[in-house]
């Protein structure tokens, strides 16, 4: 597993001299379940919600900005400047994603949005024009598109639906909660000095370059 949040936390835990490993725990709902049970110590880069605060001790400082955007097929762009512009259009989202209480309430009452278990399902539905848009984290979505040969067919619209942030946190069962003050300090410092966003940009470029190399191998010889 690779990503900006992993690199940031590996750097911070290395400063503390603490071994740090990343494990895949399955779909997002299962990640939350094993965290609630204390089967992992630490979960990275997720939204802080009242429900999650019942079993996660979150950092006060965010690790990274996490705006959510509207992704559309490049040949089927529509005007979007506020939430009302999504009315009457069939959209998609990842199961379990939350975008803030105001938008969640608005979408529940006003929008037609289907849930899918993975971003790939939403991507394929968009390409097949079974939906007109899907909502996804802007940075991870752009990175995700670099992994697909048809990724250039999809773009994120300029206007975000929100300008959220993500935090990290320890399971309430973890013995590592004493590390929280140091994490808060370093997250804040790395956002202020730009190093957190530099790591984000490096990871996006890494995925882009990696995929360009893979794509070039799949092209027929000339």
The 10s digit of each residue's pLDDT in 99-151 is: 888 999 999 999 999 999 888 899 999 999 999 999 999 988 888 887 787 88
Positive or negative torsion for Cα 110, 100, 27, 125:
positive
Do 67-162 and 4-64+164-195 fall under one CATH topology?
yes
The two structure tokens encoding residue 102? 């105001």
Could you confirm whether domain 67-162 is CATH 3.40.190.10?
yes
The two structure tokens encoding residue 179? 């590390």
- H or E stretch covering 183: helix 180-192
* pTM of the entire predicted model: 0.73
Question: Which tens digit of pLDDT belongs to each residue from 166-195?
Answer: 999 999 999 999 999 999 999 999 999 999
Architecture (CATH level 2) of domain 4-64+164-195 = 3-Layer(aba) Sandwich (3.40)
Delimit the domains of the chain by residue range.
4-64+164-195, 67-162
């Amino acid at each position: 597993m690779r990503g900006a949040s992993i690199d940031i936390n590996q750097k911070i835990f290395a400063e503390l001299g603490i071994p740090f490993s990343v494990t895949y725990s399955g779909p997002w709902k299962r990640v939350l379940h094993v965290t609630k049970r204390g089967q992992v110590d630490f979960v990275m880069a997720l939204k802080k919600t009242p429900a999650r605060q019942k079993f996660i001790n979150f950092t006060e400082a965010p690790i990274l900005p996490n705006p959510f955007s509207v992704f559309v097929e490049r040949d089927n762009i529509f005007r979007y400047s506020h939430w009302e512009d999504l009315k009457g259009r069939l959209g998609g989202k990842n199961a379990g994603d939350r975008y803030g209480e105001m938008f969640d309430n608005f979408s529940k009452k006003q929008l037609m949005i289907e849930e899918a278990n993975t971003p790939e399902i939403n991507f394929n539905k968009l390409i097949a024009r079974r939906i007109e848009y899907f909502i996804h984290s802007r940075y991870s979505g752009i990175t995700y598109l670099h992994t697909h040969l048809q990724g250039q067919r999809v773009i994120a619209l300029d206007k975000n639906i929100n300008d959220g942030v993500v935090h990290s946190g320890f399971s309430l069962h973890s013995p590592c909660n004493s590390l929280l003050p140091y994490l808060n300090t370093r997250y804040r410092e790395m956002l202020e000095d730009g190093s957190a966003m530099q790591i984000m940009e490096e990871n996006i470029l890494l995925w882009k370059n990696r995929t360009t190399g893979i794509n070039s191998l799949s092209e027929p010889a000339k």
